[in-house]
Amino acid sequence: MSEIIEGFIQAVELIISLNPEVLEITARSLLISLAATLCASLISIPIGGFIHFRKFGGKRGLITIIQTLYALPTVIAGLFVFLLLSRVGPFGFLGLLFTPSGMIVGQTVLIIPLMVGMTLIALSGVKQSIQDEVVSLGATTTQTVMTIIREARFAILGGVILGFGRAISEVGAAMIIGGNIRGYTRVLTTAIALETSMGNIAFSIALGIILLGIAMVVTVALFLVQER
């Protein structure tokens, strides 16, 4: 018990003293997950818009698949992207395996279904009467889509924040694709896993506190956005 308390105190010291390694890992985590969230947004919001505004066969089935993939296990996303990026895989020539860029790809793949799904929910939250109004005001198809996306912007942003939360807290894809290379691909979650197994409890707790702090900021941001 005292070891845990000891670890906790040391963890707080590590954070307050702005331990360079702690800072570096935190910064990398934020950078990779923010980049992944940005990439996923650029892909997911247009896909969500396309699915919402177009009528096509199998739409219902596609939405069900997307919803199932909300719970895509992180290690499976990791394995999938690992196979794509590995030397024998189709994108092996890019040399992205065990790089931060590769991790961004992994997290992007992981959160795309969630963000497409959230975009769909956000867009269907815009009443048909609003869409009629926009079309009636003389909007072209593109103008209609853009206006409805703008109308749903806060709900869509909520989905983006959720996506970021999932990206920064996942460990499977980061571990498999990044490889947890110290000073290069080591992020908060992979560092916690490693340091804990090595008995370096204080360091793990410090990173855990930071990760929780980020989660809290995300939750507060989500709350503020949904208040709008």
Partner 1 sequence: MIELVHVDKRFGENDVLKDLSFRVEKGEIFTLIGPSGAGKTTILRLINLLDDPTTGMILIDGKDTRVSEGERVALRRMMSFVFQKPAALRGNVFQNVSLGLKFRGIPPGEIRQRVTEALGLVGLDGYEEREATTLSGGELQRVAIARALVSRPEILLLDEPTANLDPGSIERIENLISSLNTRFRTTIILSTHDMVQGQRLATRIAVILDRKIRQVGDSRQIFYQPGSREVARMVGVENIFDGTVTANEDGLASITIGSTTIFATCHYPAGTAVTAFIRPEELLLLGGDGMKSSARNTLRGIISRVTPVGPNIRIQVDAGISLVAIITRRSYDDLALSPGAPVHTSFKANAIHVMTRAP
Instruction: Give whichever of 13 and 132 is closer to partner 1, judged by the CB atom.
Output: 132
Shortest Cβ 143–partner 1 spacing (Å): 5
Which segments of the chain does DSSP mark as H helices, in order? Answer: 2-16, 20-53, 59-68, 74-85, 100-124, 128-136, 141-151, 153-169, 172-173, 188-197, 201-227
Instruction: Give whichever of 151 and 195 is closer to partner 1, judged by the CB atom.
Output: 151
DSSP state of 174: I
Instruction: Give whichever of 40 and 134 is closer to partner 1, judged by the CB atom.
Output: 134
CA distance 141 to 217: 37
The residues of the shown chain that bind partner 1, judged by CB under 8 A, are 127, 129-130, 132-141, 143, 147, 150-151, 153
> 3-state DSSP call for residue 221?
helix
Shortest Cβ 135–partner 1 spacing (Å): 6
Shortest Cβ 138–partner 1 spacing (Å): 4
Phi and psi based region of residue 179 (left: phi greater than 0; alpha: psi -120 to 50; beta: remaining): left
CA distance 116 to 121: 9
Shortest Cβ 60–partner 1 spacing (Å): 18
Instruction: Give whichever of 2 and 129 is closer to partner 1, judged by the CB atom.
Output: 129
